[in-house]
Amino acid sequence: MASRLILVRHGQTDYNLNGRLQGASDIPLNETGLAQARAVGESLAREEAIAAVYSSPLGRAQRTAEAIAAHHDLEVTCDARLRERGFGDWEGLTREEIEKEWPFEFALWRAGVSSGLEKARVEHRADVARRFDAACREFSERHESGTVVVVAHGAAISLGLAAMIGAGEGNFYGLASMENCHRAVVEVRHRTEGAGWVRLTSLNLPPDFARTP
């Protein structure tokens, strides 16, 4: 069983820069995002025990994952369970635009409530957490030792990580949001079913962390 997982958020896109929700929309990395992907790849080049690199199938995550995998002569394996939370009719909108057009649903969303967002076709938080957690558990069991890198998205990582450490769906706000190409590190504690199967050791590490004295 892999001993660690490194969860990496993809590099910057123009939607990130302009404060627009991306969700399942396949928005590419911009020039800053490409530079961030190279930087995190270089930072993780020193990680000698990386056994595999998994990625969301969305291009912004794949490009980031490829920049990491290249340093280890690994192929990137895509898994749909790592995709970003689907935001339905809100994708491409800013928070101000959502609040104006969907005031009731916006209030529920900001309050951390998932029910009541069906009209806007927003994916339920619990579903995101469940699929992300299941994927990471499977990856850890697939590799007998070493470190597994998982490249995904801000909301998916926050929700999935909360489930993995046993914080519960309603407590994901207790985890700082991951910035572009920053990463979290978790240690695998046990194989048994249920929450709390990993221990969070680092959160929101910047791309150049490994090169810091």
Residues 6+ apart with CB under 8 A from 189: 196, 197, 198, 199
CB 196 within 8 A of CB 148: no
For the chain, count helices (H), then strands (E): 7, 6
CB 59 within 8 A of CB 155: no
**Residue in 45, 54, 57 with CA at minimum distance from that of residue 75:** 54
Element (H, E) at 105: helix 103-110
Catalytic residue status for 72: no
Element (H, E) at 4: strand 4-9
Q: Which of 42, 66, 72, 84 is catalytic?
A: 84
Backbone angles phi and psi of 180, in degrees to 5: -60, 130
Catalytic residue status for 31: no
For the CA atoms of 58, 189, 208, 79, the dihedral, rounded to the nearest 10 degrees, stands at -10
Q: Which of 10, 72, 153, 182 is catalytic?
A: 10
Residues 6+ apart with CB under 8 A from 111: none
Q: Which residues are tagged catalytic?
A: 10, 84
